[in-house]
């Protein structure tokens, strides 16, 4: 088993007088020019040495530092690359947010499948790390939003020649360290003070040697040499306990924290004051934070010290605060009161920057995906503002950051923030009403609000426990928030997931591995429907056969476009194709007959179906483009499905779509159709495509491979594998059928194209005509008439009610056929009345009004009874009904003064009523 020590013996260290030492405090190995050095230099082994004593020659702003870095590497033959969106799910589907510059090149570039956009390259990549959210503001150095400056080089071993998308070695470890050392020197750092700590890196199935660059106590950069992959047979055992072996590709992955370099150059007490000083000033002013000189000195020292501590979670922060207070000789509560508002303000500034990145990159708040993360941050920020007494509107604060970061869609950003803040306000309002009720209830019982309720309030209604505490206090109810509150919430979510049946799929893969990729004729000519091919393999299925051909015109299901149908004809069999799937490049035709392996077949695609699907596919691109024009640049596809009769497109949008907007989208879409612009396909290098059109081409998902297929529809460009008509005019017409919000932040547009559009229109027209016929009016008058009819219908319902009551009153006052019997001095009326329950009830009520016991039976729909007893009589109506209902094979019950029941045996009804007087007498005596 080798270890990585050898990997760190770099020429650069040897040639420049470096020594390999061991930290006397933590034992880590590190390289330094200063032979007398005792520690590695990183807290807690050492303290910050740059607060009030900047480590570089000149102060840099964030922008200046970024430029200094990028141009440094540009001068050294690196190409400067524009940053990628913060929403990493635009180009990869395994993560939501960009958390490091290397994310931009995973997984396709790092694995060698796709070439990098440049090699070597340099970039300053905005990143968001949500896991740090609770530390922001408290430690002085944590930020959720940051820029990772980096230079990357992608290397492949010489001996593997053209297997990967890049070849040979650009540069490796020694050069990487040299760059870092020179950059530090250029900025005026003291070379003797820099240490390079050996700290192997492991992550996501890869690993490699890595070096932490420490200067004046601050970790300024990490130089990662990604060169190992997880391998049970591997020679290298890493700190995660797994073994790794060398890869054919090896990648220089560096990370230079822009904020930290800026901070180093300024030596402010916290990083926040270095990065966005204007915003901190604004917020302080807005929240009315003012300190006396003495207080200011305490705050300054406390900030310096908390930055100095090795704190990794919030509990530590609270503990550390005590130590700091001791050292400064102030009371811990006093200290907290001084610094907490300031900490909130630091966090607000940072969070607003994260929000600016998110909304600037057109993430739409929602309850899923990146949208949820955005919502989460926004709500947290709003709470911080309220807490710190910042009364500036949140959209203004986010806009300050968006402005600084140079976003151009600032109006939309503010719109989104305003809408979202309003939603939050509504949630809180709803929530507090709920809490008030609970608080009142438990305060009345003098019990604390139970934890279960707290968890439910949070999980189902979005109300933070501290908010519950606040409200409950007003009602005098106690709240005990358990330490493991969050764990209990998580507990509610740990239900086992569905197990998917992947066995068959695995089996297929093995069997298909030997077959060549099916040649896709449908890309060569999207209008051809006939072809000839050879049957390479037939796999028998439970229902039918999967036929593999050498080439096919059949489009397999994909990109929301359903599979083609049609036939495969051999000499003496014709098989119907009802489904087509593509697995690992091999197209499987699901057929009802076996055409025979080795046979030549003539394929015929169902043209009507295909043409309808093609129209709907092209229409989908058109509608998406039109929606973007009407609703805004942030409109992105969240999903799409094409059918023969209609299609739907789900787009991300932060509010529901109005009738006017629908009509406008429809109008623009049809203008595009009428323009009859060409729809063209193009196979193009993916970097080129991304460079020219951006990541928005990946509306329908992210294809693999070096070459991708673009569909140009008028001005719209998308990466798409579907089949399309050749001119927009071929779509015929587009009719929007409806919109609905399928979840928060996602709106579904349903539409039909071509003959399906005509059919859809005819369908709705027919429905309207039929309705008009029924009402016997002209179609235009249907709404008015329907309204009138509905009103009249309601009116009549009420009249019937009234009449029933009147009728009942008349019956009760002697007009009815009821048999009056005397039950020990009380008058009872036993009556059969074959009517519905309402009428029975009304009659019984009317009799009770006259101080009579009512026993009413009905045989209208099974046997039914209603028994009502005046207050003055001590007979339990429920018991009477129970007894009566028993005789008709059913049951019944109710309160003592009014009960109802029944049973299925209508024939026994008369006998039961006959017995009623006896039953009454019996029960009265009971």
Site of interaction with RNA (CB under 7 A) = 367-369, 372, 375-376, 379, 423-424, 427, 430, 433-434, 437, 456, 458-462, 489-490, 492-493, 495, 497-498, 639, 656, 740-744, 794, 798, 841, 845, 862, 864, 868, 885, 890-895, 897-904
Residues belonging to the chain? 926
Nearest-angstrom CA–CA distance, 652 and 362: 9
Other CB atoms closer than 10 Å to residue 410's CB: what's the count?
Answer: 18
Nearest-angstrom CA–CA distance, 750 and 619: 11
Task: List beta partners, residue 750.
Answer: 648, 738
Which phi-psi region, left, alpha or beta, contains residue 585 (left: φ > 0; alpha: ψ -120 to 50)?
left
What backbone phi and psi angles, to 5 degrees, belong to 135?
-85, -20
- Mark out the alpha helices in 559-658 (DSSP H runs): 607-631
* Minimum distance, C-beta of residue 787 to RNA, in the bound complex (Å): 12
* Minimum distance, C-beta of residue 438 to RNA, in the bound complex (Å): 10
* Minimum distance, C-beta of residue 727 to RNA, in the bound complex (Å): 33
Q: 430 or 788: whose CB is closer to RNA? A: 430
Q: 221 or 869: whose CB is closer to RNA? A: 869
* Minimum distance, C-beta of residue 919 to RNA, in the bound complex (Å): 17
Q: Do residues 341 and 60 lie in contact, with contact meaning Cβ atoms separated by under 8 Å? A: no
* Minimum distance, C-beta of residue 367 to RNA, in the bound complex (Å): 4
Q: 437 or 676: whose CB is closer to RNA? A: 437
* Minimum distance, C-beta of residue 491 to RNA, in the bound complex (Å): 10
For residue 578, the number of C-alpha atoms closer than 13 Å in the C-beta half-sphere is: 7
Q: 598 or 738: whose CB is closer to RNA? A: 738
Q: 64 or 907: whose CB is closer to RNA? A: 907
Q: 368 or 507: whose CB is closer to RNA? A: 368
Nearest-angstrom CA–CA distance, 648 and 643: 8
Q: 679 or 888: whose CB is closer to RNA? A: 888
Nearest-angstrom CA–CA distance, 603 and 531: 5
**Rounded-to-10 torsion of CA 712, 718, 721, 725:** -30
C-alpha gyration radius of the chain = 38
Q: Do residues 712 and 697 lie in contact, with contact meaning Cβ atoms separated by under 8 Å? A: no
Q: 814 or 904: whose CB is closer to RNA? A: 904
Nearest-angstrom CA–CA distance, 538 and 549: 9
Give the orientation angle of helix 451-461 with respect to helix 465-475, to 10 degrees: 120
Other CB atoms closer than 10 Å to residue 918's CB: what's the count?
Answer: 12
Nearest-angstrom CA–CA distance, 671 and 625: 12
DSSP state at residue 907: G
Q: 430 or 787: whose CB is closer to RNA? A: 430
* Minimum distance, C-beta of residue 817 to RNA, in the bound complex (Å): 22
What backbone phi and psi angles, to 5 degrees, belong to 234?
-65, 160
Q: 37 or 652: whose CB is closer to RNA? A: 652
Q: 290 or 501: whose CB is closer to RNA? A: 501
DSSP state at residue 181: H
Q: 231 or 897: whose CB is closer to RNA? A: 897
* Minimum distance, C-beta of residue 481 to RNA, in the bound complex (Å): 15
Nearest alpha carbon to residue 681 among 633, 741, 638, 724: 724
Residues 6 or more apart whose CB falls under 8 angstroms from that of 19 comprise 31, 32, 33, 34, 35
* Minimum distance, C-beta of residue 612 to RNA, in the bound complex (Å): 24
* Minimum distance, C-beta of residue 596 to RNA, in the bound complex (Å): 40
Q: Do residues 377 and 358 lie in contact, with contact meaning Cβ atoms separated by under 8 Å? A: yes
449-454: long-range contacts at Cβ-Cβ below 8 A with a sequence spacing of 24 or more? Answer: 449/477, 449/478, 449/479, 449/480, 451/480, 451/481, 451/482, 451/485, 451/488, 454/479, 454/481, 454/485
Angle (CA) 25 27 29, round 5°: 125
* Minimum distance, C-beta of residue 638 to RNA, in the bound complex (Å): 8
* Minimum distance, C-beta of residue 815 to RNA, in the bound complex (Å): 21
Q: 556 or 890: whose CB is closer to RNA? A: 890
Nearest-angstrom CA–CA distance, 690 and 711: 14
Q: Do residues 520 and 582 lie in contact, with contact meaning Cβ atoms separated by under 8 Å? A: no
List, as one string, the DSSP characters of 803-828.
HHHHHHHHIIIIIS-PEEEEETTEEE
Q: 180 or 828: whose CB is closer to RNA? A: 828
Q: 168 or 205: whose CB is closer to RNA? A: 205
* Minimum distance, C-beta of residue 871 to RNA, in the bound complex (Å): 10
* Minimum distance, C-beta of residue 790 to RNA, in the bound complex (Å): 8
* Minimum distance, C-beta of residue 835 to RNA, in the bound complex (Å): 14
Helices (runs of H) and strands (runs of E) counted in the chain: 24, 33
Nearest-angstrom CA–CA distance, 353 and 399: 9
* Minimum distance, C-beta of residue 313 to RNA, in the bound complex (Å): 15
Q: 239 or 796: whose CB is closer to RNA? A: 796
* Minimum distance, C-beta of residue 210 to RNA, in the bound complex (Å): 25
Q: Which helix (H) or strand (E) holds 547?
A: strand 545-549
Is the omega angle on the peptide bond into residue 44 within 30 degrees of 0, that is, cis?
yes
Nearest-angstrom CA–CA distance, 596 and 554: 18
Nearest-angstrom CA–CA distance, 564 and 562: 7
Kind of pairing between the strands at 201-203 and 819-823: unpaired
CA 71 from centroid of its chain's CA atoms: 37
Q: 598 or 895: whose CB is closer to RNA? A: 895
* Minimum distance, C-beta of residue 343 to RNA, in the bound complex (Å): 21
Q: Do residues 100 and 125 lie in contact, with contact meaning Cβ atoms separated by under 8 Å? A: yes
Q: 486 or 528: whose CB is closer to RNA? A: 486
Q: Do residues 345 and 270 lie in contact, with contact meaning Cβ atoms separated by under 8 Å? A: no
């Amino acid at each position: 088993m080798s270890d990585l020590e050898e990997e760190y013996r770099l020429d650069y260290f040897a040639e420049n007088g470096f020594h390999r030492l061991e930290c006397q405090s933590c034992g880590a190995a590190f390289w330094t020019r200063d032979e007398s050095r005792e520690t590695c230099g990183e807290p807690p082994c050492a303290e910050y040495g740059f607060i009030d004593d900047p480590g570089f020659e000149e102060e840099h702003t964030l922008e200046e530092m970024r430029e200094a870095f990028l141009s440094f590497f540009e001068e050294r033959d690196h190409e400067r690359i524009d940053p990628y969106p913060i929403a990493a799910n635009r180009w990869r589907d395994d993560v939501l947010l960009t958390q490091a510059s290397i994310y931009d090149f995973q997984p396709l570039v790092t694995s060698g499948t796709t070439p990098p956009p440049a090699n070597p390259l340099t970039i300053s990549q905005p990143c968001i790390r949500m896991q740090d959210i609770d530390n922001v503001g408290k430690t002085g150095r944590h930020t959720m939003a940051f820029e990772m400056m980096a230079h990357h080089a992608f290397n492949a071993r010489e001996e593997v020649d053209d297997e990967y998308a890049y070849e040979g070695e650009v540069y490796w470890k020694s050069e990487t360290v040299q760059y870092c050392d020179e950059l530090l020197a250029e900025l005026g750092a003291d070379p003797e003070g820099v240490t390079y700590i050996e700290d192997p890196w492991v992550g996501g199935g890869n690993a490699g040697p890595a070096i932490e660059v420490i200067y004046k106590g601050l970790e300024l950069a990490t130089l990662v040499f990604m060169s190992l992959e997880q391998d049970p047979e591997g020679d290298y055992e890493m700190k995660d306990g797994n073994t790794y072996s060398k890869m054919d590709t090896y990648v220089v992955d560096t990370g230079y924290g822009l904020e930290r370099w800026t901070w180093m150059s300024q030596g402010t007490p916290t990083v926040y004051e270095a990065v966005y000083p204007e915003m901190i000033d604004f917020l302080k002013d807005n929240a009315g934070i003012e300190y006396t000189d003495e207080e200011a000195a305490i705050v300054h020292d406390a900030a310096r010290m908390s930055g100095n501590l090795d704190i990794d979670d919030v509990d530590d922060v609270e503990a550390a605060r005590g130590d700091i207070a001791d050292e400064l000789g102030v009371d811990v509560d006093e200290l907290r009161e001084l610094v907490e508002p300031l900490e909130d303000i630091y966090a607000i500034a940072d969070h607003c920057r994260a929000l600016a990145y998110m909304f600037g990159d057109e993430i739409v708040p929602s309850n899923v995906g990146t949208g949820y993360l955005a919502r989460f941050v926004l709500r947290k920020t709003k709470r911080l503002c309220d807490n710190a007494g910042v009364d500036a509107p949140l959209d203004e604060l986010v806009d300050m950051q968006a402005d600084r970061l140079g976003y151009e869609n600032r109006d939309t950003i503010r719109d989104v923030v305003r809408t979202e803040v309003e939603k939050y306000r509504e949630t809180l309002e709803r929530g507090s009403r709920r809490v008030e009720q609970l608080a009142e209830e438990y305060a009345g019982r003098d019990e604390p609000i139970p934890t279960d309720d707290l968890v439910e309030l949070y999980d189902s209604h979005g109300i933070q426990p501290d908010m519950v505490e606040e409200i409950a206090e007003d009602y005098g109810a106690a709240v005990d928030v358990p330490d493991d509150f969050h764990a209990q919430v998580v507990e509610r979510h740990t239900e086992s997931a569905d197990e998917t049946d992947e066995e068959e799929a695995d089996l297929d893969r093995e069997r298909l591995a030997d077959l060549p990729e099916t040649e896709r004729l449908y890309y060569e000519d999207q209008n051809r429907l006939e072809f000839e091919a050879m049957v390479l393999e037939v796999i028998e299925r439970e229902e039918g056969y999967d036929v593999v051909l050498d080439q096919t015109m059949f489009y397999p299901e994909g990109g929301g476009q359903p599979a083609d149908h049609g036939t495969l004809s051999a000499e003496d069999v014709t098989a119907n194709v009802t489904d087509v799937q593509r697995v690992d490049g091999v197209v499987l035709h699901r057929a009802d007959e076996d055409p025979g392996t080795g046979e030549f077949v003539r394929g015929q695609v169902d043209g009507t179906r295909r043409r309808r699907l093609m129209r709907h596919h092209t229409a989908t691109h058109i509608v998406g483009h039109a929606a973007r024009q009407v609703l805004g640049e942030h409109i992105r596809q969240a999903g799409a499905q094409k059918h023969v009769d209609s299609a739907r497109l789900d787009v991300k949008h932060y509010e529901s779509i109005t009738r006017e907007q629908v009509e406008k989208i429809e109008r623009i879409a049809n203008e595009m159709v009428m323009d009859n612009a060409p729809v063209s396909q193009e196979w193009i290098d993916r970097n080129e495509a991304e460079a020219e059109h951006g990541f928005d081409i990946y509306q329908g998902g992210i294809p693999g491979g070096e070459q991708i297929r673009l569909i140009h529809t008028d001005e719209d460009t998308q990466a798409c594998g579907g089949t399309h008509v050749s001119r927009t005019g071929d779509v015929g017409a587009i009719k929007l059928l409806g919109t609905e919000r399928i979840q928060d932040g996602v709106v579904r547009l349903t539409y039909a194209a071509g003959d399906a559009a005509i059919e859809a229109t005819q369908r709705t027209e027919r429905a309207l005509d039929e309705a008009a016929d029924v009402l016997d009016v002209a179609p235009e008058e249907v709404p008015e008439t329907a309204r009138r009819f509905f009103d009249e219908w309601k009116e009549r319902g009420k009249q019937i009610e009234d009449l029933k009551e009147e009728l009942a009153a008349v019956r009760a006052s002697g007009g009815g056929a009821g048999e009056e019997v005397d039950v020990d001095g009380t008058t009872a009326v036993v009556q059969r009345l074959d009517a519905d329950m309402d009428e029975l009830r009304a009659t019984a009520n009317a009799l009770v009004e006259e101080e009579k016991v009512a026993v009413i039976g009905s045989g209208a729909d099974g046997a039914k009874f209603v028994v009502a007893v005046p207050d003055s009589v001590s007979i339990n109506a429920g018991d009477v009904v129970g007894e009566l209902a028993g005789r008709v094979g059913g049951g019944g019950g109710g309160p003592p003064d009014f009960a109802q029941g029944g049973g299925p045996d209508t024939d026994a009804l008369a006998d039961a009523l006959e017995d009623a007087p006896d039953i009454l007498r019996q029960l009265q005596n009971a």
